[in-house]
Amino acid sequence: MQLADAAARAEVLRREIERHNHAYYVLDRPTLPDAEYDRLFRELQAIEVAHPQLLTADSPTQRVGGKPLDGFSPVRHAVPMLSIRTETDTEASGALAFDARIRRELGFGESDPAVEYAAELKFDGLAINLRYEQGLLVQAATRGDGETGEEVTQNIRTVRQIPLRLSGKVPELLEVRGEAYMSRADFERYNERQRAQGKPALVNPRNGAAGSVRQLDPALCAARPLSFYAYGLGDIAGWDLPTSHADVLDALAAFGLPVCEHRAVVRGGEGLVEFHARIRELRDTLPFDIDGVVYKVNSLALQQRLGFVTREPRWAVAHKYPAEEMLTTVEAIEVQVGRTGAITPVARLAPVFVGGVTVTNATLHNEIEARRKDVRVGDTVIVRRAGDVIPEVVSVVLERRPKRDLLGDEPLHPPFELPRLCPVCGSAVERPEDEAIARCTGGLICPAQRKQALLHFAGRRAMDIEGLGDKLVEQLVDNAIVKTPADLYKLGLLAMASLERMAEKSAANLLAAIDRSRQTTLARFIFALGIRNVGEATAKDLARFFGSLDALMQAGMDRLQQVPDVGPVVAASIARFFAEPHNVEVIEQLRAAGVHWIEGEAAAVVSSPISGKTFVLTGSLPTLSRDEAKDMIEALGGKVAGSVSKKTDYVVAGFDAGTKLEKAQALGLAILDEIQFRELIGQ
């Protein structure tokens, strides 16, 4: 196909595919069989592969996301994303109080007409700001602290409800505020799939949405089904604003943005009361979670007249619903050991029906919270489904606390105390002074942490054991074949081939990968140990500074804090890890199994031309992947940061570099292409 013909066909396909996307994901009215949709999509992909110059930012093929990020870049909001005040009175009187306050602020008397309000739902997800320039989505950012958020454009592109290009006559600049959320059905389907694959499930839809948007790898975000509703504006230019908030939402819908149908324009306090009651009746039937409704003065002119108080608009309020609470008794208090060693006290309850489900357990969060609420065995407690999902103990009904005798005041049961030893492995339990969460120090030998420790150990940036995934690790641990990372190097072909869905060839490939991992680098080995607070960058700093594992293991707190970017918290984590005899024993077993590296090799690079320099990588380089460039820099003593700042020495920019390149240019930083980068490092 000639270029001109290919360009014309690609444009037709893009419009056609986005039309079907809008019908399917926004209007919920599919217009095409899946097979035909897939055929159109594959045709567009083929054209863009054959003619890369035809690839556009708004192409549906770009929704799959780009390469994993090293970190999130900060985004300063042109118009702050302010919070909305919450009405603490969850009854009808709360709506009437808001209306009375608005009338008072406007100076309205009894003879003045009722105020018109836009009433909508309060979604339970993550607030997002979408920036469109000339109708094209150029940036997406989280709310953050209201002034500065994090750029999550790659991840938001995977949300198919969000148009990459707006429809119709669009403003020169339009920032749209809305909520990224996960529907209940998508949440359940995702968790079912995760459990079937032996992978961790999400806690609740809200955490699922927030965690998905903040994944560094957009492919992981794309695997989690997210949705979006628009509800407001940020910065705008080149647009004659409508006169009311309701008209703004209608205009956003006309641009192709999803806007929730459960909204209304009502008059006066009574109208707000009716809307609050109607949505309360619908709440359980909605396909997504809400934790209340929102009232906004509909007239934009009146909004401007009312203005703001501190960091909240006077013209809006969130009106929540009463939390569903019930009384029950505590039958026992146990502790759970999480995959990272976190010790969580859990109250075992007499079964009680709360918020549509039978609750038998409730989290006490941590030792400090359990002691603050003074929850004891035998207590009558108020249980609430916090956030409509996670049951928690709200408080104790002290007058019902069991006593040792009928006439005395001494409680029958003592206060909760955190166990000194891990109930799973018997290792010491510690809680640093500046942290609320206590943790098992068992590390490499604790069964509760074993699966996660093995997966981390085998990770691509750690020991890089290809083929050792979640399902296989689960089988190895559940069948007591592997207890510590050192046991991996004792595996034989017969034992591996006997596992479920493990053919002899696959077993041989895995054993070969394990054997290859015996030769590694000191930095990878340190990172693979899974020392708390020691990430990949810190592991490399430790390897460079000490040059040998023995020197690191013998280092005290003062010596550890001499390492760049290692403070007292990280130093304490390292010291505690190597002070545990069982961790040292596993390390010696790994050495005995032949795991090795060249001692001192990491320290030898400190005299390179880029030693101590900070780089930022952005865009796609012609011949190097992000990881390859990062490895080159770090091997020569440089550092790679995730965002551009005044402390950045060099920015290595490739194709589609984006906002990082713009910021580097604004700061006057040194910008290199791949050829210049290779010249700098002597390649």
pLDDT tens profile 149-170: 889 888 888 888 899 999 999 9
Which helix (DSSP H) or strand (DSSP E) does residue 385 occupy?
strand 380-386
Q: Which amino acid is at 78?
A: A
- So what's the pLDDT on residue 64? 56
From CA 97, how far away is CA 113, in angstroms rounded? 17
Is the pLDDT reported for residue 69 higher than 60? no
Q: Which pLDDT tens digit goes with each residue over 285-309?
A: 888 888 789 999 999 999 999 998 8
From CA 151, how far away is CA 129, in angstroms rounded? 9
User: pLDDT: is 45 or 517 the higher one?
Assistant: 517
Q: Could you tell me how far CA 66 lies from the centroid of its own chain?
A: 17
Q: How far is CA 146 from CA 143, 149, 663, in A?
A: 5, 7, 21
Q: Name the H helices within 81-132.
A: 92-106
From CA 287, how far away is CA 221, in angstroms rounded? 20
- So what's the pLDDT on residue 390? 67
Q: Which amino acid is at 351?
A: P
Cβ neighbours of residue 498 closer than 8 Å, sequence gap 6 or more: none
Is the pLDDT reported for residue 432 higher than 80? no
DSSP character string of 440-457: ES-GGG-HHHHHHHHHHH
**323 pLDDT band (50/70/90 cuts)?**
low
**431 pLDDT band (50/70/90 cuts)?**
confident
Instruction: Give the helix, strand, coil percentages of the chain, each rounded to 5.
Output: 40, 20, 40
Is the pLDDT reported for residue 651 higher than 60? yes
- So what's the pLDDT on residue 629? 87
**604 pLDDT band (50/70/90 cuts)?**
very low
Which token pair is 208? 């699922």
Q: How far is CA 647 from CA 135, 457, 644, 651, in A?
A: 34, 32, 8, 11
Q: How far is CA 651 from CA 150, 623, 675, in A?
A: 20, 17, 13
Q: Which pLDDT tens digit goes with each residue over 364-396?
A: 888 888 888 899 999 999 887 644 456 888 889
The winner for highest mean pLDDT among 502-516, 527-541, 547-561, 620-634 is 547-561
- So what's the pLDDT on residue 628? 82
Of the ranges 189-203, 325-339, 623-637, 655-669, which one carries the lowest mean pLDDT score?
189-203
Cβ neighbours of residue 270 closer than 8 Å, sequence gap 6 or more: none
Report the chain's terminal Cα–Cα distance, integer Å.
Answer: 39
From CA 632, how far away is CA 463, in angstroms rounded? 18
Is the pLDDT reported for residue 532 higher than 70? yes
**248 pLDDT band (50/70/90 cuts)?**
very high
Q: Using CA of residue 401, residue 405, residue 411, residue 417, what is the dihedral sign?
A: negative
Of 172, 180, 80, nearest to 132 by C-alpha is: 172
State phi, psi for 307 to the nearest 5 degrees. Answer: 70, -150
**Which domains are delineated in the chain?**
3-64 (1.10.287.610), 102-320 (3.30.470.30), 325-400 (2.40.50.140), 442-604 (1.10.150.20), 606-680 (3.40.50.10190)
Is the pLDDT reported for residue 552 higher than 70? yes
Of the ranges 20-24, 257-261, 509-513, which one carries the lowest mean pLDDT score?
20-24
Q: Which pLDDT tens digit goes with each residue over 117-139?
A: 999 999 888 899 999 999 999 99
From CA 649, how far away is CA 651, in angstroms rounded? 7
Q: Are 405 and 302 in contact (CB under 8 A)?
A: no
DSSP bridge pairs for 319: 87, 293
- The catalytically annotated residue of 122, 296, 630, 660 is 122
663 is catalytic: no
User: pLDDT: is 386 or 37 the higher one?
Assistant: 37
Q: DSSP E strands: which ranges in 268-356? A: 290-297, 308-309, 312-313, 316-320, 325-337, 342-354
DSSP character string of 586-644: HHHHHHHTT-B--TTTGGGGTTSTTTT-EEEEESB-SS--HHHHHHHHHHTT-EEESS-
Which token pair is 231? 């509800």
Q: What is the DSSP letter of 237?
A: E
From CA 138, how far away is CA 161, in angstroms rounded? 16
Mean pLDDT, the chain, integer: 86
**646 pLDDT band (50/70/90 cuts)?**
confident
Is the pLDDT reported for residue 398 higher than 70? yes
Q: Which amino acid is at 207?
A: N
Q: Are 137 and 157 in contact (CB under 8 A)?
A: yes
Mean pLDDT over 176-180 rounds to: 95
- So what's the pLDDT on residue 434? 66
From CA 391, how far away is CA 387, in angstroms rounded? 9
Q: Which pLDDT tens digit goes with each residue over 579-597?
A: 988 889 999 999 999 999 9
From CA 473, how far away is CA 455, in angstroms rounded? 7
pTM of the entire predicted model: 0.49
Q: Which pLDDT tens digit goes with each residue over 339-367?
A: 678 898 999 999 987 765 788 999 888 88
